[in-house]
């Protein structure tokens, strides 16, 4: 397998790894209010997240920024809690300005998640020839992310369009479940953060 192929595979497997499900929860929270017919909005939202995590992934792997990994591991579930809460309190028809806020939050939270991805990637890399591994890993992350988005939108379509569950009820159910899981993660990681 080529170097590019190896890091591409590591990228998509990392984001789709069920043992490290925090990134899956975040993507699910981002998509919880959407159906397949909203694909343009989802595309913009996921692109904003991608831009954010691509920036900090590169800056962190190249050692331009350094943030303690314990802090990042705490902040990741915080981003999930905030995103899920925003979904829960969201009105059925959000104003255009509100949608722009969602994109900004996805971009900002992507910055946090990029540093989390970089901790994993840095553990695999040496110091030479970072360009190809960084690019391949990031493209792999995006591929994995698109698989997760497609799965979430497919499940939402089945639940809402075939089972007859109201769209708002589905969004509340999914967002509330994500909120609960992420809140537990936040408390656990906060305890780890403050322990000497």
Structure confidence by residue, pLDDT tens digits, 125-174: 765 677 888 889 889 988 999 999 999 999 999 999 999 999 999 999 99
The answer to whether position 50 is within a domain reads yes
Number of domains the chain is built from? 1
pLDDT at 96 over 50: no
At how many degrees (to 10) do helices 3-16 and 96-124 cross?
120
Say which residue the tokens 């499940």 belong to.
155
- Average pLDDT value over all residues in the chain: 88
Give the pLDDT mean for 44-52: 90
The answer to whether position 90 is within a domain reads yes
pTM, two decimals, is: 0.89
The answer to whether position 94 is within a domain reads yes
Q: Which of 81, 163, 156, 76 is nearest to 115 (CA)?
A: 76
The answer to whether position 15 is within a domain reads no
The answer to whether position 18 is within a domain reads no
Domain span at 150: 3-8+23-194
Rounded CA separation 115/120 (Å): 9
The answer to whether position 13 is within a domain reads no
Rounded CA separation 119/110 (Å): 14
The answer to whether position 53 is within a domain reads yes
The answer to whether position 30 is within a domain reads yes
């Amino acid at each position: 397998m080529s170097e590019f192929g190896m890091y591409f595979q590591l990228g998509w497997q990392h984001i789709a790894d069920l043992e490290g499900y925090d990134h899956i929860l975040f993507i699910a929270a981002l998509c919880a209010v959407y159906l397949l017919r909203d694909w343009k909005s989802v595309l913009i939202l996921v692109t904003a997240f991608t831009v954010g995590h691509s920036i900090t992934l590169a800056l962190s792997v190249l050692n331009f920024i350094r943030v303690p990994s314990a802090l990042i591991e705490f902040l990741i579930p915080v981003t999930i809690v905030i995103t899920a809460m925003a979904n829960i309190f969201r009105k059925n028809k959000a104003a255009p300005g509100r949608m722009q806020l969602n994109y900004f939050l996805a971009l900002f939270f992507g910055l946090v998640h990029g540093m989390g991805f970089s901790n994993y990637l840095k553990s695999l890399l040496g110091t030479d020839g970072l360009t190809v591994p960084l690019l391949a890993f990031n493209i792999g992350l995006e591929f994995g992310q698109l698989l997760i988005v497609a799965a979430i939108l497919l499940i939402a379509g089945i639940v809402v369009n075939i089972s007859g569950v109201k769209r708002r009820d589905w969004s509340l159910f999914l967002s509330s479940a994500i909120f609960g899981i992420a809140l537990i993660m936040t408390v656990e990681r906060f305890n780890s953060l403050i322990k000497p």
